[in-house]
A and B are shown apart, each in its own frame.
Chain A
Amino acid sequence: MSIEAQNLNVYIKDNHILKDVNIRLPEKQITCIIGPSGCGKSTLLRTFNRLIDSTEGVKIEGKVLVDGQDIIHSGAEITELRRKIGLVSQRPCPLPMSIFGNVAYGCRINRMFKKRKQLIYHVQKNLRDVGLLDEIKGRMHTPAARLSIGQQQRLCLARSLAVQPEYILADEATSALDPISSKTVEDLFVSLKERYTIIMVTHTLRQALRIADNVVFMYLGQVIEAGPAQQVFNHPQEELTQKYLAGAFS
Chain B
Amino acid sequence: MQKLRIIKDRVAQGTMFSLTILSILLVAIIAIGLYLKSAPVLDDKSLWTLLFSSEWRPMKGEFGFLPFIMGTIWVTILAILFSLPISLLTAVYLTEYSKPIVRKFVFPALDILAALPSVVYGVWGVLVIVPWISQHLAPLFVDFSTGYTALAAGIVLGVMVIPLMVSLFVEVFTTVPVELRQASLALGATRWQTAIRVVFRKTLPGIIASVVLAVSRAMGETIAVLMVCGCVIHIPESVLDACYPIPALIANNYGEMLSMPFYESALMFAALILFVVVLIFNLLSRIILYRLEKTEK
Contacts and interface: CB of A to CB of B under 8 A. Distances in A.
Contacts of A89: 179, 182-183, 186
B182 A51 contact: yes
B193 A95 contact: no
A110 B188 contact: yes
Interface string A78-108: 0110110111010101011100000001100
A54 B186 contact: no
A51 to B, nearest CB: 6
Interface in A28-71: 49, 51, 54, 56
B189 interface: yes
Contact of A96 (B180, B186, B189, B193): B180
B186 A82 contact: yes
A246 to B, nearest CB: 34
B188 A93 contact: no
Interface in B235-260: none
B187 A105 contact: yes
Contacts of B181: 54
Interface string B158-195: 00000000000000000001111111111111100100
A163 interface: yes
A163 B185 CA distance: 12
A96 to B, nearest CB: 4
A96 B202 CA distance: 6
B188 A83 contact: yes
B175 to A, nearest CB: 12
Contacts of B184: 95, 105, 109
A160 interface: yes
Interface string A182-219: 00000000000000000000000000000000000000
Nearest to B194: A109
Contacts of A91: 179
Interface string A159-171: 1100100000000
B198 A80 contact: no
A85 B178 CA distance: 19
A106 to B, nearest CB: 4
A223 interface: no
28 contacts: A51-B182, A51-B185, A51-B186, A54-B178, A54-B181, A54-B185, A56-B98, A79-B188, A79-B189, A82-B185, A82-B187, A82-B188, A83-B188, A86-B187, A87-B182, A87-B183, A89-B179, A89-B182, A93-B179, A93-B182, A95-B183, A95-B198, A96-B201, A96-B202, A105-B197, A106-B188, A110-B188, A160-B187
Interface of A: 49, 51, 54, 56, 79-80, 82-83, 85-87, 89, 91, 93, 95-97, 105-106, 109-110, 156, 159-160, 163
Given A93-B182, A97-B201, 12 more contacts: A51-B185, A54-B178, A54-B181, A83-B187, A86-B187, A95-B198, A96-B202, A105-B189, A106-B188, A109-B187, A160-B186, A163-B187
Interface of B: 98, 100, 177-190, 193, 197-198, 201-202
Q: Nearest 8 pairs between A and B by C-beta?
A: A83-B188, A106-B187, A87-B186, A96-B202, A93-B183, A79-B188, A93-B179, A82-B188
